[in-house]
Chains A and B, each alone.
Chain A
Amino acid sequence: MSALPLPGGPAPVDGGLAAPSAAPSVSPAQRAWRRFRADRRGWWSLWIFGTLVVLSLFAELLSNDRPIVAHYQGKTFFPLWDTVPETAFGGDFATPTDYLDPFIREQFAKPGNWAIYPPNPYRFDTINYFAPSPNPAAPSSVNVLGTDDRGRDVLARLIYGFRVSVLFGLALTAIGVVIGVITGAIQGYFGGRIDLAFQRFIEIWGSMPELYLLLIFASLFEPGVLILLVILSLFGWMGLSDYVRAEFLRNRNLEYVTAARALGLSSWQIIRRHVLPNSLTPVIAFLPFRMSGAILALTSLDFLGLGVPPSTASLGELLAQGKANLDAWWITLSTFAVLVGTLMLLIFIGEALRTALDTRRG
């Protein structure tokens, strides 16, 4: 845009008050973003967290029990995508190849043959039948962070468990935000009887025993990520809804909303263009905290055995294993570190966001 001085020329200048600077305009959202970037701790936390999440999305390439590329007797295989029978590598049976088998490894070590394994050669559910030490095994060159009591690699389970936790947290937060904003907006904008009815509904709904419902549902249905998501979403929107309602109640009385009504805008247009954008500050400031809350909820439920089935990698299940095998310190310690690290990054991001959105600053 042009950088003309404002408001110069023949126009009357209002009492010589400080005129806006000639620098290009920044929207309030852009200003908040700049303040966020100025907070080094939050900014770095966002980068680290983002990198970890992106890396974990490619967990299959980082931690897997199949080689990414294998070359055997002039033929190239992509075992990550194709299941190759053992016979292809000189084995005796037509079963899927177990690439941890020392025999297969020897085959690839022969001249002319090679295989590129992922950095960590285990999947979250790989059981190493050829492990040199009994389970749970302490950290060694075979398993960097040791194994759990079923012989599964702890590092692999942490990587996949982190991914499940973060994706679960994201999904739960997103659903909670959508429901919370919609219900809060309806209550706050229309007020009156609608507000009253909704508030009573929330009071009744909020006093339902969430944990018992979870227990009942866990026995009724096959426990899984989806059913957890549905149940936690049913109860997770209420806190946010109250915040949005309060913001709407405040903002709908501001004069620019009355001005919009005077212009003839419909309720929906006023909500979308005027009230909603100005009511989202607490929603955005709470996002990281809600996400850490969601991750913690999933972990606790898994720890209690009410969460995802044991075959799914999960931080809570690892913690439970650590508790059951107190002498296997590597399970508890590494899981604890991942959990604390994740939550801390989220809290740092959240704190930076909160300061950035504080309208009393610059």
Chain B
Amino acid sequence: MSAVTADPALLDVRSLSVVFDGPGGEVRAVDDVSFAIARGEKFALVGESGSGKTQTALALLRLNGDARVGGRIAFDGRDLTEASERELRGVRGRDIAMIFQEPMTALNPLYTVGDQIGETVVVHEGATRAAARARAIELLDLTGIPEPQRRVDSYPHQLSGGQRQRAMIAMALACSPSLLVADEPTTALDVTIQQQIVDLLDDLQRKLRMSVLLITHDLPLVRRFADRVGVMRNGRLLEVAPTAQLFSAPADPYTRRLIDSRPRRALDPVGPDAPELIRGERIGCRYWLRAGWFGRKPFDAVRDVDLTVRRGETLGVVGESGSGKTTLGMALLRLAAGEVSGAIGFDGERLDGRPQSVLRPLRRRMQVVFQDPYNALSPRMTVEQIVGEGLELHRPDLDRDRRREAIVAMLGEVGLDPSALARYPHEFSGGQRQRIAIARAAIVLTHGDRALPIAGRTDPTGSGALLLLDEPTSALDVSVQQQVLELLCSLQRKYGLSYVFITHDLAVIRAMAHRVIVMKDGVVVESGDTDALFDHPRADYTRALLAAADG
């Protein structure tokens, strides 16, 4: 742990509350939160979505818009709650700086990176444009962007995600703030980049001797970075403790649950004689990009991927964003927009080169669940309509009541009450929506309840069914994530489903997959049994991924 000086706290927050006036009365986003950050200390606020951690950070600089902020915020001996808007403007950016989660939207696309970094210096220190530019170059260099002289004139879209986040950090550091508030600074980044950004923050904090308030839901990140941790839930601060103590002996049961909610392996082994369900040979997916006025140039999102999935088996596909893992999944199910090449066989039937109308009857045996539970459900349909749609299509023999019976049964299996039937997606939380999305796919794969008579077949998935899971838990909070993973495991066990599980999260893949393929830039870098691959990675890239994930 870094040295914490004995000075009085740099930031002292006492009974902070943030209240919004909603249509149904007031909503207390933050309720009676008190904590202090010492000079040079790295403090982390951890919580799931809706816990009020971001609102707490915004309240420090009174950036919460039309919320009512109560309590006392003392910064460097000054009372920020009493400060006028004008005085606060002097504090923002100069004494307390912020970096945000989404580096694309937090940078103005119309100005160069250098302009935006220099702006803070011009505003707060009255520097000339030339001096501001020199400072911008210096800061970009400090944050480790290569060729800062050239990058200073780049626009945000010309930088990669990691570089943008570095530029954001440079912007925040422009006036050497004494407190840096980092709101989920790595959430939108790939694991290997995350690692670099955390190292950078750590390094800068030591060099510049500032305090850092880190807002995150990522416990491994907190463990690696913070000196002290506060755990928030439903707007309240449950406990504050030094990092090592919090992780070894959490005082609050909720904290313990959070720490324990790392994915656990609950897989049934697949028998050696399990038949093969889907086989892909030399799968490729090519998009045509525009080049010049009339020219086109090919871009291979996926190249020469071989894979097989057996009955009841989960194949994990790991890779960073842009590695082609989602395109591969879409190509397998013949849903990709690009030109798909290679051979795909599903239970003896060729999928490649067949028109969609021929594939339609097969769709009942291959389904998909997506990452974003907010976009995956049509907002104008009830849960009954959403879940029942596929059943209606593939089982026209069921009448309305039988269909409803099957829907209720499936909702029960994914852990939802029958009263969900007439509700709309906006009434559910992210985890519940993901359950609905799983129910929509699973009901088609299993043809509703086993008890229902199914034409000519006794075992619902007798000949096997494939579910493509594209980052199904990435948008969910950790505790919910574990529940959804358990649900997927139990469905697999009960119906003998095969999964193709796409994710960037190595912990999830380790818990869920029998076999793994690692992808980078559209090609498979390494593949093998999960345990063997995790314990003895052969490819350098796999090793780098594992190192980044472990910290």
Instruction: Report how far A266 CA is from B393 CA in the complex, Å.
Output: 10
B485 to chain A, nearest CB (A): 12
Among B360, B412, B427, B483, which residue has its beta carbon within 8 angstroms of that of A264?
Answer: B360
A180 to chain B, nearest CB (A): 20
Residues from chain B with Cβ under 8 Å of A7 in the complex: 415-417, 419-420, 432
> Do A14 and B370 touch (CB < 8 A)?
no
* Complex: chain B residue closest to A269, CB-CB: B393
Answer yes or no: B515 CB below 8 A from chain A CBs: no
Answer yes or no: A15 CB below 8 A from chain B CBs: yes
Assuming the contacts A255-B375, A278-B378, asked whether A15 and B480 have C-beta atoms less than 8 A apart, the reply is: yes
In the complex, chain A residues 1-40 whose Cβ is within 8 Å of any chain B Cβ: 1-9, 11-12, 14-21, 24-29
Which of A2, A5, A14, A256 has most B Cβ within 10 Å?
A14
Instruction: Report how far A9 CA is from B380 CA in the complex, Å.
Output: 27
Instruction: Report how far A25 CA is from B428 CA in the complex, Å.
Output: 11
> Do A265 and B417 touch (CB < 8 A)?
no
> Do B423 and A25 touch (CB < 8 A)?
yes
A275 to chain B, nearest CB (A): 9
Assuming the contacts A14-B480, A264-B360, A265-B393, asked whether A255 and B370 have C-beta atoms less than 8 A apart, the reply is: yes
Instruction: Report how far A274 CA is from B376 CA in the complex, Å.
Output: 11
* Complex: chain A residue closest to B479, CB-CB: A15
Residues from chain A with Cβ under 8 Å of B430 in the complex: 14, 17
> Do A4 and B428 touch (CB < 8 A)?
no
Instruction: Report how far A315 CA is from B49 CA in the complex, Å.
Output: 58
> Do A17 and B429 touch (CB < 8 A)?
yes
> Do B431 and A262 touch (CB < 8 A)?
no
> Do B393 and A264 touch (CB < 8 A)?
yes
Residues from chain A with Cβ under 8 Å of B49 in the complex: 17
* Complex: chain B residue closest to A262, CB-CB: B368
Assuming the contacts A7-B416, A11-B416, A15-B479, asked whether A277 and B380 have C-beta atoms less than 8 A apart, the reply is: yes
> Do B335 and A258 touch (CB < 8 A)?
yes
Instruction: Report how far A15 CA is from B370 CA in the complex, Å.
Output: 20
Instruction: Report how far A259 CA is from B441 CA in the complex, Å.
Output: 8
How many residues from B make CB contacts under 8 Å with A?
Answer: 59
Instruction: Report how far A265 CA is from B388 CA in the complex, Å.
Output: 13
Answer yes or no: B379 CB below 8 A from chain A CBs: yes
Instruction: Report how far A269 CA is from B428 CA in the complex, Å.
Output: 26
Answer yes or no: B366 CB below 8 A from chain A CBs: yes
Assuming the contacts A7-B416, A262-B366, asked whether A28 and B376 have C-beta atoms less than 8 A apart, the reply is: no
In the complex, chain A residues 240-278 whose Cβ is within 8 Å of any chain B Cβ: 254-256, 258-266, 269, 273-274, 277-278
Which of A3, A21, A258 has most B Cβ within 10 Å?
A258
* Complex: chain A residue closest to B427, CB-CB: A20
Residues from chain B with Cβ under 8 Å of A74 in the complex: none
Instruction: Report how far A233 CA is from B308 CA in the complex, Å.
Output: 56
Instruction: Report how far A262 CA is from B335 CA in the complex, Å.
Output: 7
| B369-381 Cβ-contact flags toward A at 8 Å (1 or 0) | 0111001111111
> Do B417 and A27 touch (CB < 8 A)?
no
Residues from chain A with Cβ under 8 Å of B441 in the complex: 259, 262
Residues from chain A with Cβ under 8 Å of B370 in the complex: 255, 258-259
Answer yes or no: B303 CB below 8 A from chain A CBs: no
Answer yes or no: B364 CB below 8 A from chain A CBs: yes
Answer yes or no: B297 CB below 8 A from chain A CBs: no
> Do A262 and B415 touch (CB < 8 A)?
no
Residues from chain B with Cβ under 8 Å of A16 in the complex: 233-234
Residues from chain B with Cβ under 8 Å of A26 in the complex: 424
* Complex: chain A residue closest to B426, CB-CB: A28
Instruction: Report how far A264 CA is from B431 CA in the complex, Å.
Output: 25
> Do B479 and A263 touch (CB < 8 A)?
no
Which of A3, A12, A17, A21 has most B Cβ within 10 Å?
A17
Assuming the contacts A255-B376, A263-B390, A264-B364, asked whether A14 and B382 have C-beta atoms less than 8 A apart, the reply is: no
Instruction: Report how far A124 CA is from B420 CA in the complex, Å.
Output: 58
> Do B363 and A4 touch (CB < 8 A)?
no
> Do A28 and B380 touch (CB < 8 A)?
yes
> Do A256 and B376 touch (CB < 8 A)?
yes
Residues from chain B with Cβ under 8 Å of A274 in the complex: 378
> Do B375 and A254 touch (CB < 8 A)?
yes
Residues from chain B with Cβ under 8 Å of A20 in the complex: 423, 427-428
Answer yes or no: A362 CB below 8 A from chain B CBs: yes
A305 to chain B, nearest CB (A): 47
> Do A2 and B380 touch (CB < 8 A)?
no
Answer yes or no: B50 CB below 8 A from chain A CBs: yes
Residues from chain B with Cβ under 8 Å of A21 in the complex: 427
Which chain B residues have a beta carbon within 8 Å of chain A's beta carbons? 23, 48-50, 233-234, 330, 333, 335, 359-361, 363-364, 366-368, 370-372, 375-382, 389-390, 393-394, 412, 415-424, 426-432, 437, 440-441, 444, 468, 477, 479-480, 483
Nearest 7 Cβ contacts at the A-B interface: A264-B363, A14-B431, A4-B419, A20-B427, A11-B415, A263-B390, A255-B370
Q: A6-B419, A16-B234, A25-B422 are in contact. List 6 more A-B contacts (CB 8 A).
A: A8-B417, A25-B427, A27-B382, A258-B368, A261-B335, A263-B367
15 CB contacts below 8 A, A to B, read: A6-B419, A6-B423, A7-B416, A7-B432, A15-B480, A19-B429, A25-B424, A27-B380, A258-B330, A262-B335, A263-B389, A265-B393, A274-B378, A278-B378, A362-B23
